[in-house]
């Protein structure tokens, strides 16, 4: 009988560990396997038995309630919603906020080596997936950074990488022997290089923040508080110069007055076809009218000789190919006619097909390209052309819409299911070009405030901060929450399966690791006695 029970317990333990291994590998790669792994974990939980005792312990666990509180908030939002179809869909998406803390916090603790193995499975999965993305992107010659992250959203993928850097750094610091530190160090350097090449804004900002924090901490420890303060002031000054430069460029764009008298420009091309000197459709870029010296007839004819792609169709990034071609010619100072097109090399034609709309994009790094795209979108926005597919200007438009919705219902919000309807109505009221886009605020805090009002937003903040306080600022859990909070300023982080599973799993997993440390366990037991 004892042998049977031992074998049974071993089987359940390994099934549970197997489910966790699949889940932690699936979070940065596959929505489908995320669901499969949670079913396996559910099976292990049922086989474990002793339900009453485990559930009683779970009810007394404050970490469980901090994560589950977010799901409860969405359940309470059903009381004043009208769109139950969307509400139920949203609750299904956010089910990991209940399922994962329920299972993980009521199952027996893993061994320290098993927890470490899970961290390495996550890191190695990321490294393999990132390498595949880079190989595919380089082989196909992709320019768009979205192609560098196969599997899930490039934003969610970069968040996973940021977390892995933190976890590997912790492992590196714990390891005393340098030869054993090398794999972690190699992966950290690879991930930082990947983020830089990838141009993932959110991920790169988070990584830069941790790198600067560690550098300043090291300076303080090895030298003095004064040296660390000077280093911090240098960083703040550098950031300030960068922000000032961007603001100055925006002011230059706002105040630029291009010439409106186009009568002196040539009327015809060298082939005798009429030019259209457009100052409306294509707008401005870097202060210049993009559509000057434009002959649609010649471009269409010559393009068909150089490329199989439809001149009036879309490029590989989903943008109007004609506009991409015209912008590219303009960036090189060429006329938008047969003569201008004839001066392009074959590799430039291939790049235009891939969505490269500015020759500068081929010579600069990802961050400079992102700035160029922003300034172009900003010019278009000021000219009344709407957001025109520019993600930063879309976020600005959605920010205005979010503030408008919150002002109308600041206490209760619009409810769990009515957020998309509220956005559509507000964007229609604003006469925005995003009114049929189904986009939301791209800011998790605004989304919560819209759905559940200002009180709901305060509860959400408590749910984010309390686990960190409860763990007495455990390094890994605190770093994870910083990553999550920064991402939520720029994204609806928990509105997708990949995002909510990432948040729910790692909040619970890292909280459990914090409990299992001597200090965390002591604090945790003390709080439980009070409860």
Share of the chain above pLDDT 90, in %: 40
Confidence (pLDDT) at 143: 57
In tens, the pLDDT along 469-513 reads 988 888 899 999 999 998 898 888 899 999 999 999 999 999 999
**Residue 5, burial from CB neighbour count under 10 angstroms (0-12, 13-18, 19+):** exposed
Q: Judge whether residue 521 has pLDDT over 50.
A: no
156 neighbors 498 (Cβ within 8 angstroms)? yes
Q: Is the pLDDT of residue 519 over 50?
A: no
- Name the one residue in this structure whose structure tokens are 């001597």: 518
pLDDT score of 531 = 45
Its pTM stands at 0.82
What Cα–Cα distance (Å) separates residue 1 from each residue in 4, 5, 49, 219, 505? 5, 6, 17, 60, 35
- Alpha carbons 192 and 194: distance in angstroms, whole number: 5
Distance CA 481, CA 479 (A): 5
Lowest mean pLDDT among 288-292, 456-460, 472-476: 288-292
pLDDT of residue 458: 96
Q: What is the pLDDT of residue 402?
A: 92
Domain positions in the chain are 2-229+437-530, 284-362
Question: Residue 132: CB partners within 8 Å, gap ≥ 6?
Answer: 150
Express each pLDDT in 410-440 by its tens digit: 999 999 989 999 998 998 998 888 888 888 8
Q: What is the mean pLDDT of residues 351-356?
A: 85
């Amino acid at each position: 009988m004892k042998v049977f029970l031992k074998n049974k317990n071993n089987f359940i333990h390994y099934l549970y560990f197997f489910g966790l291994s699949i889940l932690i590998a699936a979070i940065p790669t596959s929505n489908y396997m995320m669901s499969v792994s949670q079913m396996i974990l559910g099976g292990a939980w049922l086989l474990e038995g002793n339900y009453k005792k485990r559930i009683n312990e779970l009810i007394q666990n404050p970490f469980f309630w901090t994560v589950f509180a977010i799901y409860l908030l969405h359940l309470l939002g059903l009381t004043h919603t009208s769109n139950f179809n969307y509400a139920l869909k949203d609750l299904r998406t956010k089910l990991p906020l209940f399922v994962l803390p329920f299972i993980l916090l009521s199952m027996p603790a893993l061994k320290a080596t098993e927890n470490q193995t899970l961290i390495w499975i996550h890191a190695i999965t990321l490294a393999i997936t990132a390498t595949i993305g880079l190989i595919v992107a380089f082989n196909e010659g992709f320019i768009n950074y979205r192609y560098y992250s196969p599997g899930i959203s490039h934003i969610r993928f970069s968040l996973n990488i940021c977390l892995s850097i933190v976890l590997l750094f912790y492992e590196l610091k714990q390891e005393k022997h340098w030869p054993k530190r090398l794999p972690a160090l190699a992966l950290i350097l690879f991930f930082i290089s990947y983020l830089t090449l990838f141009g993932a804004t959110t991920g790169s900002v988070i990584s830069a923040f941790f790198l600067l924090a560690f550098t300043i901490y090291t300076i303080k420890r090895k030298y003095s508080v004064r040296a660390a303060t000077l280093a911090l002031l240098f960083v703040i000054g550098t950031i300030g110069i960068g922000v000032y430069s961007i603001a100055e460029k925006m002011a230059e764009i706002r105040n630029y007055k291009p010439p409106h008298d186009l009568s002196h420009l040539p009327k015809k091309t060298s082939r005798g076809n009429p030019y259209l000197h457009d100052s409306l459709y294509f707008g401005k870029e870097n202060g210049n009218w993009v559509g000057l010296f434009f002959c649609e007839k010649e471009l269409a004819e010559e393009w068909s000789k150089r490329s199989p792609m439809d001149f009036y169709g879309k490029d590989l990034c989903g943008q109007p190919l004609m506009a991409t071609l015209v912008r590219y010619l303009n960036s090189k100072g060429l006329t938008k006619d047969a003569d201008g097109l004839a001066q392009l090399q074959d590799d430039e034609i291939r790049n235009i097909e891939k969505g490269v709309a500015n020759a500068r994009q081929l010579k600069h790094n990802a961050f400079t390209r992102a700035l160029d795209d922003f300034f172009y979108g900003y010019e278009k926005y000021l000219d009344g052309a709407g957001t025109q597919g520019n993600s930063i200007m879309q976020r600005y438009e959605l920010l205005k819409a979010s503030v408008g919705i919150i002002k109308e219902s600041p206490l209760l919000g619009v409810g769990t299911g009515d957020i998309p309807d509220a956005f559509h109505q507000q964007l229609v009221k604003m006469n925005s070009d995003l009114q049929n886009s189904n986009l939301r605020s791209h800011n998790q805090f605004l989304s919560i405030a819209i759905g559940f009002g200002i009180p709901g937003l305060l509860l959400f903040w408590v749910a984010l901060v309390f686990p960190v306080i409860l763990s007495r600022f455990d390094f890994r859990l605190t770093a994870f929450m910083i990553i999550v909070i920064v991402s939520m300023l720029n994204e609806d982080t928990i509105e997708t399966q990949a995002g909510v599973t990432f948040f729910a799993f790692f909040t619970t997993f890292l909280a459990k690791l914090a409990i299992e440390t001597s200090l965390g366990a002591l604090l945790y037991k003390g709080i439980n006695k009070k409860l």
